[in-house]
Amino acid sequence: MKKLILIAAIACWGLPPNYDYAQNSYDRDTESKLTAIERVVRLQALPSKDVNTLNTFLADEFVLVTMDGTTRSKQDLWAYLQSVDSLRYSMQEMTVRGHGNTAIVTGLFQMWGMQRGKPFKRQGRFVDTWLNREGRWVLLASVSTPTHD
């Protein structure tokens, strides 16, 4: 019995005080869901101009702050996508930080394609703010900043 207590004490020793098992589980679940949603939105829906999928995940009040500092609404984003001939996207180093019914996702991205017959390439960091609205995650805001090589 003393060995069992000692083993349990040693196992818990590394945990911080007030460790919340439910919150840790929630965070992992949130991280998995939002990582998957980010990949669907950025790697599939944007390049294929899938307005239905984007409409599912972008809040009506969605705002995008672009790398040059301009803002775009959800409707502005649709118009931009229509002006792009082709679009490819890649992401790295995504991190999800949950805060109740809100989550912040950060990461690196590369985007390249053709717009009006001219090639373009952009790379930078993004910060996305997600809200869990009645059990469904929606993207409220996205900010992109350039990275310097």
pLDDT < 70 regions, the chain: 1-26, 149
**Complete domains list, the chain, with CATH:** 20-146 (3.10.450.50)
Buried b (16+ CB within 10 A) or exposed e, 71-82: ebebeebeeebe
* Helices and strands counted in the chain (H then E): 5, 6
The distance of Cα 21 from the centroid of its chain, to the nearest Å, equals 24
**How many other β-carbons are positioned within 10 Å of the β-carbon of residue 38?**
22
Specify whether the CB–CB gap between 117 and 85 falls below 8 A. yes
pLDDT digits (tens, 9 = 90+) for 71-96: 999 999 999 888 889 989 899 999 99
Element (H, E) at 94: strand 84-99
* Overall pTM > 0.85: no
Whose tokens are 């590394």? That residue is 14
Asked if residue 92 lies in contact with residue 60, where contact means CB atoms within 8 angstroms, the answer is no
Q: How far is CA 89 from CA 1, 36, 47, in A?
A: 57, 15, 7
Predicted pLDDT of residue 84: 86
What pLDDT shows up at residue 149? 59
